[in-house]
Each structure stands twice: as structure tokens, then as C-alpha cells.
Amino acid sequence: MRLRGIIGGGGGGGSSRGGATDVGQRRREQVEPGRAAGNGLPDAARSDMALSVRNLSTVFEDGQRTVHAVRDVSFDMRPTERLGVVGESGSGKSALALSILGLIEPPGRVVGGEIHLGGREISKLSDRALGAIRGKDIALVLQDPMSALDPVKTIGAQVIEAIAAHNPEMRRGAARRRAAELLREVDIPQPERRLDDYPHQYSGGMRQRVAIAMAIANNPSVLIADEPTTALDVTTQSQVLALLDRLVEQHGTAVILITHNLGIVSDFCDSIAVMYAGRFVETSGVDHIFLEPTHPYSEALLKCVPNPERLADGPLPAISGFPPDLAQLPQGCAFQPRCPVGREIPECRRQPPRPHEVRGAAGAAIVECHFAEQRIKEVKV
């Protein structure tokens, strides 16, 4: 895995992504971006996917306003695929993750869509049935490991609890040995002794390693990592990402990585979904986004990444305006009020864009923009 972009300043340059490893290149060549946009796989093909999401929509209602946090999102993930979901705060990334896991709480609710995990539909299961799946077939790593760890329980007790929840027949001694193995697997030194320590006795990076150990305890087929390195310094970030890279390779796990850091996406992911106002506005292989970002929002995000090659160009660009109120979305394209391309174009104000499949030198992409075909021929970064 290439961690240069993370170490180099928390961003990772877009146009300087040369030197991909052979393994990374082979992984990227396998990505089919059209599938990530949800072009409607037949049931037989969908059953081969680790995760298949169709037309997922989630709202939050307080009696006066309805916030459309996730709007008709569809995508598929093959086993071992790594999908990066990026976008500004409030774009719906975490709401999407919680919707997939069945963890949306009132006043929020999932109002539509289907979710298939390993070919099995889970979107209509009861909370109890979902509880038997969460932590076993699909798992979550949170941004703040202290949110996942109980401060008054030892680390060992919590890892053992994660194991025993889906292995009730396992004896406590065997579960403790398995917990020590997991801590060793995530590079915690002296794991047998550290089982008896409490979360406050671990550093932030070590707590995140414990959270990862608990997430992989039952070998899930899909792992959702929601900003897993945001609270860590860049050196610890690289160590945690290298660890996650090794573990998902060993366990054959598909990963959804939610992040603001495009450098992490460049180094870790095969495919990327750019999310804005609750929708995937561009999905593609990673190379396409960094070489030929086609949606104006994708291009704007990339231009906001610090790049040493552009220091002489002046201040770092910023995206003008603010994300839309998800309870009062524009009639047309949600990005239109901030868009340098469509801000003054009537079609963008009146009509939501449909998904366009485009192909450039860096591969194919699905782009929700009225000018996608034109821009794929013009945009260079």
C-alpha cells in the first residue's frame, strides 16, 4: 500500500499519483465503476456481490421539516473491494453507513430501498435478526474508538464480549485466547497482559487498533470504517491504514472507507464514490477521480487538496457557498448554486441531472451532471 499521500501532509496530491504497486494496479483494473452507481445487476450477479444496495433513502423528520439525508443511493461491492466514500460534512456519508447497518434511530428512518449482504436481503429484517448479522457478517469501525469502548470495562472483557456474541458455545478460556490472538494480530504488544488494561491505559492509536480487532473478530465479509483515522496524527494514521490494509487482505473483507482525506482514498481504495447532498454524484475507479474528475464538485474537492506542486499558484482554493439545506433542496441540480459550470444555466436550475456513463483515458465513471460527456473531454488536473 502506498502511504506517501498520507505522510506527505494529510492530503495526497492528485496529479502525482505515479508509482502504483503491481498489486494495486491489478486491483484497480478489476473495478467496474458503472456497477458502483447501481445500474441494476440481475439477481444472479447480485448474489456474487459482498454488498448490494438499491435505491436506499433515509430521512429525518421532526414534524415540521423532513431532512433527506440519503437520496436513492445504489451501488454494489465485490468481495475484497475497497470503496472510498468522500464528501463534505453533512453530505450523508455517515447516514448511509448507519442505514446499511440498520442503526438509524428516531426521528430518522429508512424510507426505501433494498440491501443485500452476500446475496441475502437484510433491509426487511427485524432489529433482533439484524443484531445477529451486525458484528458477524458486517461490522463497523467508528471515528472515535472511545465511542465503541466502555471506559469501565477492561479491553479483554470487551473483545471477549464481541467474540461471544456470535459464538455462544465458545468457552471463556478459549474466548480469552482468541481475544489475545486478535490483539496480537493488530500489533498490540504483550497482548495477554494488555487484555486486563482499561481503555484509558491505551493511546488513541492503540484504542483504534482494539476497535479494528473487535470489528474483525468474527471475520465479517463487509467492514464499514467511518473516518477511522481522523482523530490520529499522520504517523499513527499511516500505521493504522497499513494495519487495516493487511487485515482486509488476509481476511478477504470488502471495505467501505468513509473519509474527508483524498490521500487515504488514493492509497487504500480501488473505487470511489463522491457524495453530495445525499447522492453519489460521481463513482469510478480511483485513478479516474485523480486524473479526470468529471463532476464539478469532484474537481472542486480535488483542487482543495494541498499540492506542493501548486504552492506558487497562491492561496489554496475553496468551494464557494455552503452545502444545501437537505430539507429544502434546489429544484434542479443540488450543486447548481455553488457550481462554476452550471450556476447561471437554466437547465441546471430546473432539472436534476440523470446519471451519465462516461469513459476517459483513466477509465469509466458514472457522473450526475448535465455536462458530463463534454467535461470528460476537457477536464484535466
User: 110-149, pLDDT tens digit by residue?
Assistant: 999 999 999 999 999 999 999 999 999 999 998 888 878 9
Cα 263 to Cα 376: distance, rounded to the nearest angstrom: 22
Q: N- to C-terminal Cα distance for the chain?
A: 23
Q: For residue 36, is pLDDT > 70?
A: no
Across the chain, mean pLDDT equals: 86
pLDDT of residue 178: 96
pLDDT-based confidence at 351, cuts 50/70/90?
very high
pLDDT-based confidence at 313, cuts 50/70/90?
confident
* Structure-block grid coordinates of residue 124: 426487511
Q: For residue 2, is pLDDT > 60?
A: no
pLDDT-based confidence at 278, cuts 50/70/90?
very high
Residue 164: C-alpha distances to residues 151, 194, 355 (Å): 20, 19, 45
Q: Do you know the residue count of the chain? A: 381
pLDDT-based confidence at 42, cuts 50/70/90?
low
For residue 259, the cross-strand partners are: 86
- Any idea what the Cα angle at residue 297 is, between residues 302 and 259, rounded to 5°? 60
Digit-coded pLDDT (tens) for 236-247: 888 888 888 888
Q: For residue 302, is pLDDT > 60?
A: yes
pLDDT of residue 107: 95
Question: Could you tell me the domains of the chain?
Answer: 1-34+79-100+221-331 (3.40.50), 141-219 (no CATH)
User: Is the pTM for the entire model greater than 0.85?
Assistant: yes
The strand ranges marked E within the chain are 51-61, 66-77, 82-86, 108-117, 120-121, 138-141, 222-226, 254-259, 271-276, 279-285, 355-360, 363-368
pLDDT of residue 379: 67
**Mean pLDDT confidence for 274-294:** 95
pLDDT-based confidence at 96, cuts 50/70/90?
very high
pLDDT of residue 1: 37
Residue 316: C-alpha distances to residues 264, 311, 357 (Å): 19, 8, 31
Digit-coded pLDDT (tens) for 136-191: 999 999 888 887 899 999 999 999 999 999 999 999 999 999 999 999 999 999 99
pLDDT-based confidence at 29, cuts 50/70/90?
very low
Helix (H) or strand (E) holding 211: helix 204-215
Digit-coded pLDDT (tens) for 257-267: 999 889 889 98
Q: For residue 26, is pLDDT > 50?
A: no
